[in-house]
């Protein structure tokens, strides 16, 4: 099939590359010339395992193109995916200006019957808005149908997720339109669910909000575990073996971040309020997540009495491993709190250092994890990169000035850390201290 993807951000680029990999001819368009020039030079705008290789392969085979010419892409395609950014406004409402702009461009270049697919994460009712905007610009004699086809990609495994999805949701106005999308996805041989457009839009938000709620729930349990002397890791294992609950998204830590959970929970809450159907459970989810970095820094301060003048090493800046994405990353909130309490901070992350540099955060950037630990009073592990899971604790202890390891993702065995001469502090677990510590 001939496909256009409007937007070369995270969702758009992965979507375009994967559809090309499946044998379609794809044009990815973006209004930013520098982004297109970068992609044509095989420079990826973000880190995602396997993506560059897929883009290069399909460009060489002639199935994947990049362009700033939206008009040409629209006119030459039968299915057009809108995959532009939908950032939050200060109120929590979703900013749909990029979606509206894409819809207007589609309408102005609408030369034949096409299926328009919303791939961006958008509030309920956006499909109607897109159709109305296109209607205003397109020739009146041509029909139009708008479909909602939400993505369920996890950063760090997006390419694999797109090729091997749990399910494919197609929100279509009628069966005939749905069949075109079924044909497109049939090669994957994965479960497909056909719904109304509004139900598909809601499925995306409800899914992310539920997962965010699981994270905040286990973090609330973790905070109680610390008070009553229980271990949240033992609790989550006992909970996760219940098939009704499952083990995923039940790891306690310093909170969720990234481009989806914070934005989508706020947006769904905003939509629920606008319809007079408030979701108090989401209010609690968001409140707990905002408190996790504060509680973690409070724990650090309780150990030292004051953080003024302390040198803290931070390992991990991205919101999760295998990505360079620092959007809403808990590490950045924690660093900001450390600064406000008088601490100095030096950091290391395998992939996210350049993004943090560009953000203007006032930290010392280090060559590796041991360089970041050198001379520090405490080391904080805030992203569970595999290389951090295999820390050499003897070397870590040797280069540190102090002897406190704060495990913000509960990836270490407290007793093992203690054996190497370091006090251990996790989330929802009892601290294991050195004598006289």
The string of pLDDT tens digits covering residues 48-85 is 999 999 999 999 999 999 999 999 999 999 999 999 99
Shared domain for 368 and 274, answered yes or no, is: yes
Kindly indicate the confidence band of residue 336, based on its pLDDT and cuts at 50, 70 and 90: very high
For residues 334 and 319, give the distance between their C-alpha atoms in angstroms, rounded to a whole number. 12
* pTM for the model: 0.92
CB 154 within 8 A of CB 322: no
Kindly indicate the confidence band of residue 307, based on its pLDDT and cuts at 50, 70 and 90: very high
pLDDT value at residue 436: 64
Catalytic, 260? Answer: yes
Helix (H) / strand (E) element for 317: namely: none
Shared domain for 190 and 236, answered yes or no, is: no
Shared domain for 96 and 217, answered yes or no, is: no
- Say if residue 278's pLDDT is above 90: no
Shared domain for 202 and 152, answered yes or no, is: no
What distances in angstroms separate CA 169 from CA 190, 211, 421, one per listed residue?
11, 18, 52
Please give the DSSP secondary-structure letter assigned to residue 89: P
Question: Which of 130, 163, 195 is the last residue before a domain boundary?
Answer: 195
For residues 132 and 103, give the distance between their C-alpha atoms in angstroms, rounded to a whole number. 9
Shared domain for 39 and 57, answered yes or no, is: yes
Phi, psi of 293 (to 5 degrees): -60, -35
Q: Mean of the per-residue pLDDT values for the chain?
A: 95
Q: For residues 199-224, give the mean pLDDT.
A: 97
Q: Is 343 helix (H, G, I), strand (E, B) or coil?
A: coil
Question: Which of 125, 160, 195 is the last residue before a domain boundary?
Answer: 195
CB 370 within 8 A of CB 399: yes
Shared domain for 120 and 179, answered yes or no, is: yes
- The CATH code of the domain that includes 63 is 3.40.50.720
CB 2 within 8 A of CB 78: yes
Domain that holds residue 211: 197-437
For residues 45 and 48, give the distance between their C-alpha atoms in angstroms, rounded to a whole number. 9
Shared domain for 253 and 363, answered yes or no, is: yes
For residues 342 and 332, give the distance between their C-alpha atoms in angstroms, rounded to a whole number. 16
Shared domain for 205 and 177, answered yes or no, is: no
Kindly indicate the confidence band of residue 91, based on its pLDDT and cuts at 50, 70 and 90: confident
Torsion angle of C-alpha atoms 160, 163, 164, 170, degrees rounded to 10: 130
Shared domain for 67 and 50, answered yes or no, is: yes
Give residue 393's region: left, alpha or beta (phi > 0; psi -120 to 50): alpha
Kindly indicate the confidence band of residue 92, based on its pLDDT and cuts at 50, 70 and 90: confident
Q: Please identify which of the residues 28, 225, 260, 366 carries the catalytic annotation.
A: 260
Shared domain for 229 and 191, answered yes or no, is: no
CB 314 within 8 A of CB 330: no
Shared domain for 322 and 350, answered yes or no, is: yes
Shared domain for 173 and 239, answered yes or no, is: no
Q: What is the pLDDT of residues 359-370, one digit of tens each?
A: 999 999 999 999
Question: Which of 167, 195, 223 is the last residue before a domain boundary?
Answer: 195
Please give the DSSP secondary-structure letter assigned to residue 94: B
Nearest to 222 by CA among 423, 407, 391: 407
Domain count, the chain: 2
Q: Is 223 helix (H, G, I), strand (E, B) or coil?
A: helix
Kindly indicate the confidence band of residue 434, based on its pLDDT and cuts at 50, 70 and 90: confident
């Amino acid at each position: 099939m001939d496909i256009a993807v409007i937007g070369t951000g995270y969702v758009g680029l992965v979507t375009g590359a994967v559809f090309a990999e499946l044998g379609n001819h794809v044009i990815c368009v973006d209004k930013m010339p520098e982004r297109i020039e970068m992609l044509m030079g095989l420079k990826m705008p973000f880190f995602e395992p396997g993506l560059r290789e897929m883009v290069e392969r399909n460009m060489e085979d002639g199935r994947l193109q990049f362009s700033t010419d939206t008009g040409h892409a629209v006119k030459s395609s039968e299915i057009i995916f809108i995959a532009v950014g939908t950032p939050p406004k200060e109120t929590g409402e979703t900013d749909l200006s990029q979606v509206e702009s894409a819809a207007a461009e589609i309408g102005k270049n609408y030369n034949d019957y096409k299926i328009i697919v919303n791939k961006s994460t958008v509030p309920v009712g956006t499909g109607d808005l897109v159709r109305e905007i296109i209607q205003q610009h397109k020739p009146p004699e041509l029909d139009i149908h708008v479909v909602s086809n939400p993505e369920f990609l996890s950063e760090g495994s997006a390419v694999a997720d797109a090729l091997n999805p749990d399910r494919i949701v197609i929100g279509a106005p009628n069966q005939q339109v749905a069949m075109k999308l079924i044909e497109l996805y049939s090669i994957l041989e994965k479960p497909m669910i056909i719904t109304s457009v509004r139900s598909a839009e809601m499925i995306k938000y409800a899914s992310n909000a539920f997962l965010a709620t699981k994270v905040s729930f286990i973090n609330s349990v973790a905070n109680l575990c610390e008070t009553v002397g229980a271990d949240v890791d033992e609790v989550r294992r006992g909970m996760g073996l219940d098939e009704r609950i499952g083990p995923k998204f039940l790891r306690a830590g310093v909170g969720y971040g990234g481009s989806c959970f914070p934005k989508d929970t706020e947006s769904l809450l905003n939509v629920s309020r606008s319809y007079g159907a408030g979701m108090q459970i989401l209010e609690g989810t968001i409140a707990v997540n905002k408190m996790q970095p504060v509680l973690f820094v409070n724990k650090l301060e309780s150990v030292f009495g004051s953080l003024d003048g302390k040198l803290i090493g931070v390992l991990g800046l991205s919101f999760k491993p295998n990505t360079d994405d620092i959007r809403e990353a808990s590490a950045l909130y924690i660093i900001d709190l450390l600064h406000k309490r008088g601490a100095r901070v030096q950091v290391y992350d395998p992939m996210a250092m350049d993004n943090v540099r560009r953000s203007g955060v006032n930290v010392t950037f280090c060559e590796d994890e041991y360089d970041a630990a050198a001379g520090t009073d405490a080391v904080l592990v805030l992203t569970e990169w595999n290389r951090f899971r295999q820390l050499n604790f003897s070397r870590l202890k040797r280069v540190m000035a102090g002897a406190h390891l704060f495990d913000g993702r509960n990836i270490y065995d407290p007793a093992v850390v203690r054996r190497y001469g370091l006090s251990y502090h996790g989330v929802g677990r009892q601290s294991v201290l050195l004598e006289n510590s």
